[in-house]
Amino acid sequence: MNIEEIALKIEILERQNLSKSAEMTNYTQSALTSKVKKMESEIGQPVFKRTPQGLKITNVGIQYKNYLQLITQEYEGFLNSVGTNQVKTKVNFGASHTTIKIYGASIVNALNTNNIPLDVDFTVESSNSINEKIHNSEMDCALTSNPIKHYPDLAYDIIATETFDVISNDSHIVNFDERIPVTLLVLSKGCMYTRAMVEYLSKNQIPYNIKEIKSVSSIQDFLHIDQSIAVLNTKLIDLYNYTNIHRYNLQLNNEINTVYIYKKNESTQKSILQLKNVIKSIIEEPL
């Protein structure tokens, strides 16, 4: 069955104007004229009357159009029954800079591979910004590090416990005891990893300035600058195959929960639960 050819015939019969149909379909008018002649040859009767005002569909043409539309509807019903033409539910999904780089591609791949009818739009912002947008109903749900502020109307389901590392180039190891100013390289200034490291530097009276570098691979290049350190999710360091780095064993808690955030009164929404289960299945498997 050539469903595209059927759709073209319906277009011609409904519009009753070959010039307009040519504009809509990118066919030439002469090509569409040939298709009309072929239709009439197949049926054995005219589908159009030629009038001074232009083409006018005949009763046979109307019956043929109805028949083609019925075929189209039945074909769409068949696709729906076998799950290949499901209507997708739109989900506005938030992710932090870290979580999108670790899990973003895997989420899209899992949705496509398992034919899950979700159309996910990604928004990448800081954890705190995402948290507020879900509270204000500007976003449906999100995967991000656990924000400091918890709104009573939101659920914060712990999906995983992530670790982060403080690193530098192994040729430029920083001695924090000297309290020499350092440049802190981060993916996002609003990231919870950044906040944890800033608290450590401030507590130990180590001068610092922050450089936001959106590219994980570029951060490694910037580490060649003396007195530069970076704070990154451990999985990201491994995923991007960082080499020639030094990891610091500092006295700070380098564990942060990754949470799935959504409104409690929407917890029964199928789409939100579906996406949550997809993410859980990804995190439970080795990346």
| Average pLDDT value for the chain | 89
Per-residue pLDDT at 267 exceeds 60: no
- Name the band, by pLDDT with cuts 50, 70 and 90, for residue 6: confident
Name which of 148, 142, 13, 136 is nearest 67 in CA terms.
Answer: 13
Name which of 22, 15, 14 is nearest 62 in CA terms.
Answer: 14
Give the Cα separation of 273 and 267 in Å (integer).
7
Per-residue pLDDT at 33 exceeds 70: yes
> Residue 287: its pLDDT value, please?
47
Q: Quick one: average pLDDT of 10-33? A: 84
pTM for the full predicted model:
0.65
- Is 244 buried (19+), middle (13-18) or exposed (0-12) by CB count in 10 A? exposed
Per-residue pLDDT at 44 exceeds 80: yes
> Residue 268: its pLDDT value, please?
56
DSSP calls for 189-202: TT-HHHHHHHHHHH
- Is 264 buried (19+), middle (13-18) or exposed (0-12) by CB count in 10 A? exposed
> Residue 191: its pLDDT value, please?
86
More confident residue, 190 or 163: 163
- Residue labelled with tokens 């997708």: 88
Structural domains of the chain ordered from first start = 3-81 (1.10.10.10), 89-161+257-284 (3.40.190.10), 163-255 (3.40.190.10)
Phi-psi region of 279 (alpha: psi -120 to 50; beta: other; left: phi over 0): alpha
Give the Cα separation of 96 and 104 in Å (integer).
10
8 Å CB contact between 248 and 128: no
pLDDT digits (tens, 9 = 90+) for 125-183: 889 999 999 999 999 999 999 998 999 999 999 999 999 999 999 999 999 999 999 99
- Name the band, by pLDDT with cuts 50, 70 and 90, for residue 261: very high
